[in-house]
Each structure stands twice: as C-alpha cells, then as structure tokens.
Amino acid sequence: MAKEHPRMSFNERLNELKDDMGDMGNSTLMAYKDAISTLFDYDEELVKKVTETGEKIDKMSYLFENKSMSTIAAEQPVAKDLRFIESSLKVGSHLKRIGNLAVNIAEVARHLKDEDVPEKPMHDIKKMAYLVEKMVSKSLDSFLNENMDLSRELHYDDDVIDDLFDKALDDITKTMFDDKDAINYMVYLIFLARFLERIADRAESIGNRTIFMITCEKP
C-alpha cells in the first residue's frame, strides 16, 4: 500500500523505500521457490499462486518507482541516498523480471507435468534450480545489508550456473537424439534452463548494483 504523507521526514521516506525493497525481495523469492516446487511436485493451485505473486510484484515495482521518483524530486537527496534510490529502482526492475521468469517456470511445469522426463537433464535442472535459489537469496542479502562479499560471490556462482547451463543443453540434446518422442517437450526443458540462467544473471546484476551503490564504481 502506498502511504502518501507529505509531512513524512526524509529518513522516514528512505526507510519506507528500504522496507518496500525487502517486501518485494521476499515476494520474489517466494514466487521463485513456489515455481521450482511446481516443477518437481506439480500443484495447479501453486501455479496460480505464482502467477498472482508475479502480478503483485509488478504492482509493487510500479508503486515503488512512483514513490522513488517523487522522493528524489521532493527531497533532492545527496550522493549516497540518491545512489540508494537509483540502485533500488534498478534492483526493483531485476526483481520484477525474476518474478516474471518464475511465472514462466510455473508455466513450463504445466507443460511437463504429464511427461516422463529422463533423469539426466532433470538432474542438471535440479542442480541449477537449487543454486539459483541461493543466488536470489544472496543477492537480496547483499543489497539490503550492503554486503559486498556476498555481491562478489555472485560472480563465481554465475560462472557455475553458466557451466551447468551448457551441460544441461548437452544432456537435453543427447536425450532428443536418443528419444524422438522427447523432442516435443524437450523444447520446454531448453526454455527452463534458459529461464534459470536468466534469473542467475539478474541476481548477479543485483550484486553488481550493490557494489556500485557502495563504492560508486561501475562493476
């Protein structure tokens, strides 16, 4: 809920923006976790919940943007505070996109639910999904607690994801070679791998933003 209160102090406004970022982060992480859960244990209600959370994140991001812009215009914040708001806007965009990708994952789950997906590519996906969850969580921690060590870890994590992504594509391709009938739904698995890789990329970008916010250096 957007609280509009003209006599709110600048610090109160900043704290509210920080709280909003925390809320958006929590919703995003929940959407992601639920989406992954539908993948391994399909649940139609949970798919709907992911879609609803995705829409909620869209709205939160929109309200956050408005609030940030009016805070900048009204308060003319100095360097560090301005950088926080600027970074929050970017992080908000990343979270919104991660939320959308979570919805995409839940949609893939719907396509895969009746297929007997071979173990090998599914194992790759499971490993990716697990690490990507850690990355999203870590990116939120790094940003909200201004922890640059975590931001730097995200680079290494993203390299691991890139390798897992290549391996997943290899295993998916091999499966299609061996089993023609798998070709139809394997396309969804290719997209799934790509969605996870994209979320990892966004998490890394949140880490980079955190470094920029603290050091003023473009990563």
Q: Is 219 in the site for a second copy (CB under 8 A)?
A: no
Residue 117 interacts with a second copy (CB under 8 A): yes or no? no
How many residues are present in the chain?
219
CB 92 to a second copy: min, Å: 11
DSSP structural state of residue 114: T
Instruction: Please count the residues of this chain forming the interface with a second copy, following the rule CB under 8 A.
Output: 26
Least distance CB 93 / a second copy (angstroms): 6
Residues between 172 and 211 with contacts to a second copy, criterion CB under 8 A: 172-173, 176-177, 180, 183-184, 187, 190-191, 194
Is 93 an interacting residue with respect to a second copy (CB under 8 A)? yes
Q: What is the DSSP letter of 41?
A: S
Q: Is 218 in the site for a second copy (CB under 8 A)?
A: yes
∠ CA 52-22-209, nearest 5°, is 105
- 65 interacts with a second copy by CB under 8 A: yes
Residue nearer to a second copy on the CB measure, 123 or 174? 174
Distance CA 82, CA 116 (A): 51
* Candidate list 131, 160, 169, 214; residue touching a second copy; CB under 8 A: 169
Alpha helices in the chain (DSSP H): 10-40, 44-75, 79-112, 119-144, 148-178, 183-215
**Cα torsion through 149, 98, 83, 77, rounded to 10:** -140
SS3 2: coil
Out of 89, 103, 192, 196, name the contact with a second copy by CB under 8 A: 89
C-alpha distances in angstroms, 132 versus 98, 195, 208? 11, 10, 16
Those residues with Cβ within 8 angstroms of residue 13's Cβ, 6 or more apart along the chain or in another chain: 67, 71, 75
Smaller CB separation from a second copy, 69 or 123: 69
Q: Give the residue with the Cβ less far from a second copy, 33 or 90.
A: 90
Residues making contact with a second copy (CB under 8 A): 62, 65, 69, 72-74, 76-77, 82, 86, 89-90, 93, 169, 172-173, 176-177, 180, 183-184, 187, 190-191, 194, 218
